[in-house]
A and B are shown apart, each in its own frame.
Chain A
Amino acid sequence: DSGVTQTPKHLITATGQRVTLRCSPRSGDLSVYWYQQSLDQGLQFLIQYYNGEERAKGNILERFSAQQFPDLHSELNLSSLELGDSALYFCASSVKANTEAFFGQGTRLTVV
């Protein structure tokens, strides 16, 4: 158990819908990262927050957004969902940017 909690574990939704994925980082970790893993793309970095502020952005679609709250949990919002958004979404956390990151068990999103 990495200490990073992601909910829900599985999510099935229809095209065009909006979903919110939640991540609780390890206690004391200030940095949260979101990754997407699809069959054809591998693990792709989406976005990072550090102590509530956006720190880095990867190939995150405009339909996707994230935030980190004062209690340091983070949410990834996916809207206008398409079939191609079906993937595993992982959250990771670290104490600082230069320390190892620990990953949650992911949310498996299926868009039908």
Chain B
Amino acid sequence: DAKTTQPPSMDCAEGRAANLPCNHSTISGNEYVYWYRQIHSQGPQYIIHGLKNNETNEMASLIITEDRKSSTLILPHATLRDTAVYYCIVKKEYGNKLVFGAGTILRVKS
């Protein structure tokens, strides 16, 4: 599975959009981009995933560049409860495991 690079931490004002970047320059054609988050030692929570098209669900939007070498997770209106560690993971379609890196600590501030 391709390696990902994320900034160690980011701050965001409450009510504003949080844009979390992820680089995955060695991603291959059959690998998906997944995003999970972990709020203070709780179990990781699935957010969204995509292959090459932009995706949106009730939690977030995922924007993947045309060359698929990077992506951005967008939380449109961040709240204090979105403070968490966000993990960007690249996984083969039929890959068996999620490989978690260090992630990005997102702090939402009032």
**Residues of A participating in the B interface, judged by any CB pair closer than 8 Å:** 2, 4, 33, 35, 37, 42-45, 48, 55-56, 58, 88, 90, 92, 97-98, 100-106
Q: Are B42 and A97 in contact (CB under 8 A)?
A: no
Q: Is the interface of B mostly helix, strand, loop or mixed?
A: loop
Determine the residue in chain B with the shortest Cβ distance to A45: B97
Given contacts A4-B43, A100-B46, A106-B43, 11 further A-B contacts (CB under 8 A): A2-B45, A35-B100, A43-B44, A43-B100, A44-B100, A45-B99, A90-B43, A97-B95, A101-B98, A103-B45, A105-B42
Scan residues 38-76 of chain B and give those whose CB is less than 8 A from a CB of chain A. 38, 41-46, 49
16 contacts between A and B (CB under 8 A): A2-B43, A4-B43, A33-B98, A35-B100, A42-B102, A43-B38, A45-B99, A48-B97, A56-B97, A92-B43, A92-B98, A97-B94, A98-B95, A100-B46, A105-B43, A106-B41
Q: Is the interface of A mostly helix, strand, loop or mixed?
A: strand
B110 contacts chain A at the CB level, 8 A cutoff: no
**How many angstroms between the C-alpha atoms of A3 and B2 in the bound complex?**
29
B11 contacts chain A at the CB level, 8 A cutoff: no
Q: Are A101 and B100 in contact (CB under 8 A)?
A: no
* CB contacts between A and B, total, < 8 Å: 52
**How many angstroms between the C-alpha atoms of A106 and B43 in the bound complex?**
6
Determine the residue in chain A with the shortest Cβ distance to B91: A98
| Across-interface contacts of B95 in A (CB, < 8 A) | 97-98
Q: Which 8 pairs from chain A and chain B are nearest by CB? A: A103-B43, A56-B96, A43-B100, A45-B97, A100-B46, A103-B44, A98-B93, A105-B43
Q: Are B34 and A104 in contact (CB under 8 A)?
A: no
Q: Are B98 and A45 in contact (CB under 8 A)?
A: yes
| Across-interface contacts of A102 in B (CB, < 8 A) | 46
